[in-house]
Structure 1
Amino acid sequence: MYVIYQRISDKTGQVQEVIFIPTPADNNREGIEIDAPMIYPEIIPNLIPRLMVDLEENELYYDYYAPETFETKVSDLQQVNTELNLIIGNLILESANDKATISSLEETVGTLLFEVAALKGGAA
């Protein structure tokens, strides 16, 4: 059989088509000849099979993945929301610290200006 695939890496590809009797036109497409019987996926609850090809061994295999569901999307968004709230909290604390530092620096500048004015007034 001739397997048309999309290259994922140098070693693997995701199968797009399996052609049992290839034509010369099929052989012009990116594919590989495999001399093995067709395999079929196992039924694994909550997992979706994806037919793959091992380009080094010229073998088909199934890669199983968990589909993204509404629940997983909500869970992921809740986690991102928690992380963003933590970041915002840290930024608020940093802002308060910066304001306190600025206030302290303004007080120091005021004191220094007062001392400079006193020195100028005392020197005259």
Structure 2
Amino acid sequence: MSYGITTTVDEPFGPTLAAVKDALKAQGFGVLTEIDMAATLKAKLDVDIAAQVILGACNPPLAYRALQAEDQIGLLLPCNVVVRSLPDGRTEVAAIDPQVMVTMTGNAALAAVADDAAARLGEALRSLKTTA
């Protein structure tokens, strides 16, 4: 089962992370959480990984609609977006496919919300400078 929407950006990590936040904002998403995986794993395990940040993105009207359809949908929120540095200097950006909510819950009432969220996340990723 595919559970993500992914694109590769022809820009380094730092500028891409900033562009992703702007692209999410343009689609009505706010970033509720930001987890720097490289810093966290360095601090907790003293291991080094490539730069990688997990953004917890939320579009409040969509979250509200999802909660109206499924009272435990909070277990699958917010929408995670991962920005990860690649060895060749490019950056991978991946977002959870909101259709996972429908699949995981079996609740067809979430389909319209998931469609809307998927369209918005897809547009955010498409708006970035991507590789062909």
TM range (shorter): under 0.3
Q: TM-score, normalised by structure 2?
A: 0.25
Q: TM-score, normalised by structure 1?
A: 0.26
- Rg comparison, structure with higher value: 1
Q: Larger relative contact order (C-alpha < 8 A, sep ≥ 6)?
A: 2
